[in-house]
Amino acid sequence: MGARPVEGLIVDHKSCGCRSSRLRIKWREPGLGADYLMHKVATSRVDWSALRADFPILRERVNGHPLIYFDNAATSQKPRAVLDVVRSYYEHENANVHRGLHALSARATEHYEKSRQRVADFIGAASADEIVFTRGTTESINLVAQAWGGKFLRAGDVILLTEMEHHSNLVPWQLLSERIGAQLRFVPVRDDGTLALEKLSSLLTPEVKMLAFTHVSNSLGTINPVVDLCQKARAVGAVTLVDAAQSIGHMPLNVQELGCDFLAFSGHKMCAPTGIGVLYGRSEIVESVPPWHGGGEMIVSVTLEKSSFKKPPHRFEAGTPNIAGAIGLAAAIDYIEGIGRAEIFQHDVDLAGYALKRMAELPGLRVLGPERDRGGVISFVMDAAHPHDLTTFADQYGLALRGGHHCNQPLMRRFGVPGTSRASFYFYNTREEIDRMIEILEKTARFFK
């Protein structure tokens, strides 16, 4: 896929950086936030309802009703393929990594390091050495803020974030800036839930040393133009960090085409177990980052006075890592690639489009975020019922929504709501489930009216 701008039209893949030749791509006016591209693929190839059988939990009944799981932005469910791999690891390979000279330790180490390579391939990293295993997005971002930020940022430097960041891409920077006297700046969010990119040129000044932003908003579903943002940040010499928590399992994504320096994500939102996540760090940058946590595994030699440290990624993995988690993550990647990330994205977009259309039929219901070109995350408020009451009510019908501020308190304030209800989809969700949600929302409105 050509990744060069041609005659003023941006033809690279602005949001996902994928290079799959299967995709037919359309683009729109560059520079205004809507300049990312939509995949057009035939999703009919995938038997979506058959995939549901891979997820044992989808057979659960909740409060006497079949479970409708629409809280995927919080965490996804796990397919049997992942559960089996984790179990098999504990039954046949369990040992500590990088320590034992015995057979099991060798097996565990090999499987763990193979998983790292699997992650590298999945996100298009140049090398497995650029992949640090962490507990999740939050830990990945804290690592960058504390280890990279602690070394390279000074009083007066600016960290540029956006108003739509999850608390986990806000609080670590607040902690850092309080410690070293750096300043935080924010790209505002427009009323339609997109970033006010027209403000970028005045915000992205040479004092900006870090631009950290989310790929897909966990409240609004907005998809941000990553390629564009990273390019502009690089032009002023800023390092970039992309929070890919909401995009990683939902669309094709390639770090080299995105052009970011760091990228953080959690396994548990993409079919892997909880407690495992990734920090991608471009090798030129990550090599100069000092250790964060100290302990076993991350050292070369230790005396009572001082230690020398391994190269990345092991420099950043002190102590016994989450071996089963890493192996489970690799299995989740296999599973997701078996379906196809472009197909998953198209399915998300279809479901979101269908849900938005059906929700527009409900009087007194307002959806936050962009009207189109968004991921499968829909936040809404209903005149008749507070999000808390709505969520409790829906739960009695087996419908799992999330109600509250979604770790986006500043964004909720920006939109003048205390919180919202949120429905977020994944590939195992169906239009029938959305129809059922609409019925339940109608009941809710009648009940609280």
Ligand X SMILES: Cc1ncc(COP(=O)(O)O)c(C=O)c1O
State the binding partner of 418 from another protein, ligand X, none, CB within 5 to 8 A by kind. another protein
> Does residue 183 contact residue 235 with C-beta atoms inside 8 Å?
no
Q: Is 243 a residue that touches ligand X (CB under 6 A)? A: yes
Q: Is 340 a residue that touches another protein (CB under 8 A)? A: no
- Interface stretch with ligand X, choices 80-88, 187-195, 242-250, 331-339 (CB under 6 A): 242-250
> Does residue 42 contact residue 252 with C-beta atoms inside 8 Å?
no
Write the interaction track for ligand X spanning residues 100-139; mark x where CB under 6 A is met and - where it is not. ------------------------------------xxx-
Q: Which of 168, 194, 240, 421 binds ligand X (CB under 6 A)?
A: 168
* Rounded-to-integer distance, Cα 28 and Cα 34, Å: 7
Q: Is 245 a residue that touches ligand X (CB under 6 A)? A: yes
Distance in Å, CB of 299 to ligand X, minimum? 26
Distance in Å, CB of 429 to ligand X, minimum? 17
SS3 237: coil
| Catalytic residue of the set 16, 18, 230, 407 | 407
- Residue 216 phi, psi (nearest 5): -125, 135
Write the interaction track for another protein spanning residues 404-423; mark x where CB under 8 A is met and - where it is not. xx---x--x----xxx----
* Rounded-to-integer distance, Cα 276 and Cα 118, Å: 14
The nearer residue to another protein, 354 or 448, going by C-beta atoms, is: 448
State the binding partner of 346 from ligand X, another protein, none, CB within 5 to 8 A by kind. none
Q: Backbone dihedral region of 369: left (phi > 0), alpha (psi from -120 to 50 degrees) or beta?
A: left
Strand-pairing partners, residue 208, are 158
Strand-pairing partners, residue 342, are none
The nearer residue to another protein, 63 or 127, going by C-beta atoms, is: 63
State the binding partner of 448 from ligand X, another protein, none, CB within 5 to 8 A by kind. another protein
Distance in Å, CB of 345 to ligand X, minimum? 17
Q: Which of 72, 162, 214, 420 binds ligand X (CB under 6 A)?
A: 214
Strand segments (E) across 27-176? 38-40, 61-62, 65-66, 68-69, 131-134, 158-162
Write the interaction track for another protein spanning residues 114-153; mark x where CB under 8 A is met and - where it is not. ----------------------------------------
SS3 291: coil
Number of neighbours of residue 8 by Cβ within 10 angstroms: 8
Interface with ligand X in residues 59-88 (CB under 6 A): 73
* Rounded-to-integer distance, Cα 209 and Cα 238, Å: 4
CB-based contacts of 387, cutoff 8 Å, min separation 6: 381, 403, 404, 418, 419, 420, 421
The nearer residue to another protein, 313 or 419, going by C-beta atoms, is: 419
Strand-pairing partners, residue 46, are none
Q: Is 420 a residue that touches ligand X (CB under 6 A)? A: no
SS3 282: coil
Whether 407 is catalytic? yes
Q: Which position has the token pair 């990279």?
A: 148
- Interface stretch with another protein, choices 16-24, 135-143, 332-340, 385-393 (CB under 8 A): 385-393
DSSP single-letter state for residue 60: -
Interface with ligand X in residues 322-381 (CB under 6 A): none
371 exposure class (CB count in 10 Å sphere: 0-12, 13-18, 19+):
exposed
Write the interaction track for another protein spanning residues 420-449; mark x where CB under 8 A is met and - where it is not. ---------------------------xx-
User: Is the bond into 290 cis (omega within 30 degrees of 0)?
Assistant: no
Q: Which position has the token pair 């009451």?
A: 389
* Rounded-to-integer distance, Cα 331 and Cα 85, Å: 7
- Interface stretch with ligand X, choices 192-200, 202-210, 240-248, 394-402 (CB under 6 A): 240-248
Least Cα distance to 381 among 372, 370, 391, 395 occurs for 391
State the binding partner of 97 from ligand X, another protein, none, CB within 5 to 8 A by kind. none
Residues that bind ligand X (CB under 6 A): 73, 136-138, 166, 168-169, 214, 218, 243, 245-246, 266, 407
> Which residues does the annotation mark as catalytic?
407
Where do contacts with another protein occur on this chain (CB under 8 A)?
Answer: 385-389, 392-393, 396, 403-405, 409, 412, 417-419, 447-448
